[in-house]
Homo-oligomer: A and B are copies of this chain.
Amino acid sequence: MKKADVVVIGGSAGGIPAAISCRRRYPEKSVLLIRKEEQVLIPCGLPYIFGTVGSPEKNLIPDAMLKNNGIELTIGEVEEIDRDKKVVSIASGETVSYDKLVLATGSLPVILPIPGVDKENVFSSVKDVAYLSNMLDKVNKSKGIVIIGGGFIGVEFADECKKNRDNSVTIVEMLPHCLQLALDEEFCIEAEKVLIERGIKVLTNKRVKAILGNKQVSAVKLADGQELKADIVIIGVGARANTELAEKAGLQIGPTRAIAVDRFMHTITDPNVFACGDCAEKYSFFSGKLSRTMLASIAGAEGRIAGANLFDTRYRNCGEIGVFSTIIGEQAFGCAGLTEGMARQEGFDVVTGEATAPDRHPGGIPGAALTKVKLIFSRDNGLLLGGEVSGGRSTGELANIISACIQHMMTAYEVSLFQMGTHPALTASPMVYQLVNAAELAVKAMAK
């Protein structure tokens, strides 16, 4: 029987950082990472295979990350965990004993409980190279694609599947707006406008009743009776924690149907078994309540905590802030923390500030994109609760600045004095730097 100090099950956004973090903190410990995939796809890159990137093979996480950090790799499916003996069994028959175990088994796409979802040419974001290669072939030949779900995944699939193709692409969203779970209404409307300009049909407030066709899909039927012709359907309505192995091992599953963990990423059930990433239960940074947000970046932070805590408790998970960004055509959107709507729902007395300026200066400089920042503060104590951005390519890192300010519990007063560097070709001008101006306007509003 093989032996490793640490066994990590899962080789993506949670497992890799957990393994690396362990090797960095405990260089004397041996780490074996077991994953079932021959090749691992970059999870957030899946939609981009269909336009910008061009093939699943160009969207892989290189195994060099493991080798360079002295992590052993076994490809195979773990079928069982014997927690008493501290041994995992792989489908090949191999067994490995561990001292500490990390579960990073990720998530699976949610399958809608509607008739016809099992028809040919109904796809979802399955993280498998062969599956995606087949899907790409079909998308290339398709004339009509219906995408069910207008969240980030749905919107990104729509934009990418439309690129350089003479086809029809339609998003069907149940809620009043696309991206509504991540952005305030005004940003959602802006995003929908860009989608429509790019030739994508956007149907909101619509429920899907059935997927029609014989063997293959031919149309999508909505609850209002409307039928949308389609030779391909892509379902992007979210993901559920992959807990099969954990359940089999008798580990407690929490109310969000993910593996129950404490703030140190130990499973509630077994102090020698850790879980991180999409398969592990999450808490909101703001309320401490259970959260269903799944992001590769959260998986990474959790993986780092798990890896660092394996043999000594070093880090506490502060809970997920939720930082997203995306781009539709050349218009990027980002957010960190709570939207105004979410903050009000949580009962905060909210003050917002908003500022718009070009992301380069002077505004007429080539490549400048008008970029808007909205910040959300608690009136009571001035704390930054969240922010949203729409604009040019710096939007992703602007959302990350907001995240840094949230994470360190900055107030509007502090953000209004933020010392940023500025440069004509790289940022807004110092006088109109959006983050600072949005905060100053919020301070003004608080004074009222």
Q: In the complex the two chains form, is A425's CB within 8 Å of B48's CB? A: yes
18 pairs, A vs B, C-beta closer than 8 Å = A21-B440, A24-B443, A44-B423, A44-B429, A48-B365, A58-B362, A297-B430, A298-B419, A304-B440, A323-B420, A393-B426, A394-B397, A396-B427, A401-B404, A403-B418, A405-B408, A408-B410, A408-B414
Minimum CB distance partner of A409 in chain B: B408
- Asked if A320 is at the interface of the complex by the 8 Å CB criterion, the answer is yes
Q: Could you tell me the distance between the alpha carbons of A385 and B78 in the complex, rounded to whole angstroms?
A: 44
A421 to B421 Cα, complex, angstroms? 21
Tell me the bound Cα distance from A413 to B364 in angstroms.
41
Does A271 make an interface contact (CB < 8 A)?
no
Among B13, B420, B423, which residue has its beta carbon within 8 angstroms of that of A326?
Answer: B423
For residue A317, which residue of chain B has the nearest CB?
Answer: B417
A84 CB, nearest partner CB in chain B, Å:
33
- Most chain B Cβ neighbours within 10 Å, of A45, A60, A318, A430: A430
Q: Which residue of B lies closest to A60 (CB)?
A: B362
| CB neighbours of A24 from chain B (8 A) | 440-441, 443-444
Q: Mark A75-93, 1 if CB is under 8 A from B, else 0.
A: 0000000000000000000
Whether the Cβ atoms of A424 and B299 lie closer than 8 Å is no
Known: A21-B440, A300-B436, A394-B396. 12 other contacts (CB 8 A): A16-B431, A42-B424, A42-B429, A44-B423, A297-B433, A304-B440, A314-B413, A325-B426, A326-B423, A396-B426, A397-B400, A404-B410
Say yes or no: is A324 at the interface (Cβ < 8 Å to chain B). yes
A416 at the interface (CB under 8 A from B): yes
By beta carbon, the residue of chain B nearest A363 is: B62
Q: Report how far A163 CA is from B364 CA in the complex, Å.
A: 18
A106 shortest CB reach to chain B, Å? 13
Q: Which residues of B contact A362 (CB under 8 A)?
A: 42, 45, 53, 58-60
